[in-house]
Amino acid sequence: MLFSKQWFLFIAMAIVGLFSSTAAAEDAHSYARLDEVSTPHLELDLAIDFDRKQLRGFAEYTLQRHSNSNLLYLDSSQLTIDKAEIWQHDQWQPTKFSLGDVHPSLGQELIVDIGSTATKVRIHYHTATTASGLQWLTPAQTAGKKHPFMFSQSQPIHSRSWIPIQDTPALRLTYNARLTTPAGLLAVMSADNSLSDNRDGEYFFSMPQAIPPYLIAIAAGDLAIQAISDKVAVFAEQYIVDQAAWEFADTPAMIEATEAMYGPYRWDRYDLLILPPSFPFGGMENPRLSFITPTVVSGDRSLINLIAHELAHSWSGNLVTNASWRDLWINEGFTSYVENRIMEALFGTERAVMEQALGYQDLLANLELLEPNDTILNIDLGTRHPDDVFSQVPYVKGQLFLMYLEEQFGRETFDKFLRQYFDDFAFQSISTAQFKAYLQRELLAKHPQVVSMDKINEWIHQPGLPEDAPKPQSDAFAKVEQQMNRWLKGGALQTDSWTTHEWLHFINNLPLDISADNMARLDREFNLTSIQNSEIAHAWLKLSIIKKYEPARDRLRSYLLTIGRNKLVSPLYRELAKTPDNLKWARAVYEQAKPGYHPLTQTVNEALLYNKD
Ligand code: BES
Ligand code: ZN
């Protein structure tokens, strides 16, 4: 009797499970239960308190009920919840809430009692000084030195450290916000920023298009504004605003090129916010306002593929969004592909192929370091923190997959397919399985015998690269290699026409047994130790660690002390951690740099320098 009852329950649960398998339930990185109650709109009211390094105020959600549950499940991390209220019978009434145990990567589940009739919920809260999604800079840590600066980096799961929220990319919500700052500072968001010079300390925002939570963004500082066109402007500290407007002058042309290929830009304005050098990423595609590292303002427009990349996310990522972090390749692979198409449209094939080849080399190096299972596009993250598994795989393997499809079906057919894809899934979040079904229906079935589903499954579900994956080869790089071989035998280098890309290829491919004399010879002729281009400097400094080239040490120290973009910093710490003397030196530099590093840069590099096993 008992036995059969258990079986009955088991079968009933399996059936319920089968029918309630929504995208939300499939996001292992969120406590949200979108199939029970979802939150399609947010009203945010926050004071930006630089003295306490704290955001304080409330988040108010419109409730959409899909079941008779009277509980709302939210994500939170290091938040203090001051009180919760529900809107019912035309007034705000206090309600009960509870916080779950702290999970090492997910934070805490926040459960709010919303009764059975409330239409809105308000959560009053404040953030921790250590919020993982925020960085607070003192005036001394800014270029202007007079005012503090703060910014958010919410992707992938850091929104919950500054807003109690259903922090899954399967949710889409609109938002309005009111922010207050000390007078004189300007606050901006991933919303309808104003170009006016009002600095009264109270700012209102509206984002009427439904976006996933990881695209909610905020920054405040002593910002100047410089227009590039009537649709594009740069927000930045005064010291760099003109240089950045010059560096990124091609942005309007990039928008036009992308629209011609993939349909209209649907977000109204496209502005760029240049952050302090501690910004942990190259760029972040916050809608209407991409956040950009100052390390790409190189003075020669050689690193503007970053702008092409963040702009491309206005189609791949922001319009069509990965439903969970296992599907990140749907954001980053498509975007890397579109980025490269934009670069080709504006600057021609040679540059586009050089950029493909550099990405390909990075991927191959990455594949060496990764567990095979972590080289799968539709990766199994479990509940590991997505930041801990960040790699080139979703980017470059994803891009190669789309390049492969383009090769097989031809550009015309593939472009048509992609354009339709952006239309069909506009303002939706999709899983890898949904993409596969769409690909089967709209491309494979319509052009039979070109690519099999087995091949697609190999790309998406198998580790490494398929045998017949594209292998980008650049003629320009082949010439660099010829020159390198002559130079290694004592000949001269003709570098006058070399671009940043050729320099990167040259340095990255120097033989590791290069002599100390040749290192010195290079440095003497080309001043590599003092070069200001952040990417070339990075490549050279990394080599200098491997080769124990001491004259570059001071530059290495100042580089690590002034730049916090993790991609430029962590390979250097990783290299330094390989020998005891260097590790000791690196720890000392790190401790000095740490107060200026973003929480993400701190976490990643402390793992490299202190948790070595
Ligand atoms: N959206 C990403 C950054 C990101 C991805 C943050 C996943 C957190 C989790 C952004 O668009 C990006 O890819 N930036 C790259 C740009 C590069 C590939 C041109 C970067 O920051 O290096
Ligand atoms: Zn990206």
Model confidence over 308-335: pLDDT tens digits?
999 999 999 999 999 999 999 999 999 9
Instruction: Using the predicted structure, report yes or no on whether residue 611 has a pLDDT greater than 90.
Output: no
- Residue 393 CA to residue 459 CA, distance in Å, equals 11
Sign of CA dihedral 360, 559, 385, 316: negative
Neighbours of 304 (CB within 10 A): 22
Q: How confident is the model at residue 612 (pLDDT cuts 50, 70, 90)?
A: low
In angstroms, what is the span from residue 432 Cα to ligand 2's centroid?
A: 17
For position 450, what pLDDT does the model report?
98
In percent, how much of the chain has pLDDT > 90? 95
Average pLDDT, the chain: 95
Whole-number pLDDT of residue 26: 87
36 lines ligand 1 (CB under 6 A): no
Q: Would you say residue 19 has pLDDT above 60?
A: no
In DSSP terms, 99 is beta-bridged to: 110
CA of 557 to the centre of ligand 2 (A): 29
Closest CA to 23 of 14, 38, 31, 35: 35
Our answer on whether the CB atom of 285 is closer than 6 Å to any ligand 1 atom is yes
Which residue(s) pair with 80 in the sheet?
126
Would residue 395 show up in a list of annotated catalytic residues for this protein? yes
Cα 429 to chain centroid, rounded: 17
- What confidence category does residue 16 fall into, taking pLDDT thresholds of 50, 70 and 90? very low
Measured from the CB, is residue 219 less than 6 Å from ligand 1? no
Question: DSSP assignment of 241-305, as one string?
Answer: HHHHHHHTTTHHHHHHHHHHHH----SS--EEEEPPTT-SSSEE--TTEEEE-GGG--SSSTTTH
**Residues annotated within a binding site for Zn(2+):** 309, 313, 332
Say if residues 474 and 509 touch (Cβ distance below 8 Å).
no
Residue 15, pLDDT > 80, answer no
CA of 208 to the centre of ligand 2 (A): 23
384-438: pLDDT as tens digits: 999 999 999 999 999 999 999 999 999 999 999 999 999 999 999 999 999 999 9
Residue range 262-273: mean pLDDT, rounded: 98
- 3-state secondary structure at position 587: helix
CA distances from 288 to 223, 313, 350, 483 (A): 17, 11, 30, 44
Tokens of 310: 């963040």
Atom index in ligand 1 nearest the CA of residue 336 equals 18
Ligand 1 neighbour 155 (Cβ under 6 A): yes
Give dist(CA 289, CA 193) in Å, integer: 8
From the CA of 29, the nearest ligand is: 1
What's the confidence (pLDDT) of residue 7? 44
Catalytic residue among 360, 395, 421, 549: 395
Q: What does each C-alpha distance from 361 to 42, 118, 537 come to in angstroms?
A: 43, 55, 18
Instruction: Choose the residue to mutate in 313, 332, 334, 566 for probing ligand 1, maximizing ligand atoms within 8 Å of C-beta.
Output: 332
- Residues of the chain above pLDDT 70, percent: 96
Instruction: Locate 508 and state its tokens.
Output: 């990255």
Instruction: Check if 309 has its Cβ closer than 6 Å to any atom of ligand 1.
Output: yes
**CA separation for the pair 350, 373 (Å, rounded):** 34
> Which pLDDT belongs to residue 21?
38
State if residue 355 touches ligand 1 by the CB under 6 angstroms criterion: no
Q: Which atom of ligand 1 is nearest to the CA of 313?
A: 11
Q: What is the 3 state secondary structure string of 488-548?
A: HCCCCCCCCCCCHHHHHHHHHCCCCCCCHHHHHHHHHHHCHHHCCCHHHHHHHHHHHHHCC
Indicate whether 1 pLDDT > 50: no
Q: Which ligand is nearest to the CA of 598?
A: 1
Q: For 274-280, what is the mean pLDDT?
A: 98
The separation between CA 491 and the C-alpha centre of its own chain, rounded to angstroms, equals 43
Binding residues: 153-155, 280-285, 309, 313, 332, 565-567
CA–CA distance, 214 with 169 (Å, rounded to integer): 7
Determine the Cα–Cα distance for residues 407 and 607; give it in Å rounded to an integer: 41
The answer to whether residue 23 scores a pLDDT higher than 50 is: no
Determine the atom of ligand 1 nearest the C-alpha atom of 317: 1
**pLDDT for residue 518 is more than 50:** yes
For the chain, the residue count is 613
Summarised one tens digit per residue, pLDDT across range 95-152 is 999 999 999 999 999 999 999 999 999 999 999 999 999 999 999 999 999 999 999 9
User: Residue 63's pLDDT is what?
Assistant: 98
Pocket-testing residue among 216, 281, 290, 318, ligand 1, by greatest number of atoms within 8 A of Cβ: 281
The mean per-residue pLDDT over the stretch 9-18 comes to 41
Alpha-carbon gap, residue 228 to 212, rounded angstroms: 28
CB 519 within 8 A of CB 544: yes
Q: How many angstroms does the Cα of residue 397 sit away from the middle of ligand 2?
A: 13
Which atom of ligand 1 is nearest to 310's Cα?
11
Tell me whether strands 320-322 and 428-430 are parallel, antiparallel or unpaired: parallel
pLDDT in tens, 42-98: 999 999 999 999 999 999 999 999 999 999 999 999 999 999 999 999 999 999 999
Q: Are 92 and 60 in contact (CB under 8 A)?
A: no
18, pLDDT greater than 80: no
Rounded to the nearest angstrom, the distance between the alpha carbon of 267 and the centre of ligand 1 is: 20
**What is the structure's pLDDT at 22?**
41
- Given the residues 310, 458, 502, 575, the one annotated as active site: 310
Q: Which atom of ligand 1 is nearest to the CA of 331?
A: 1
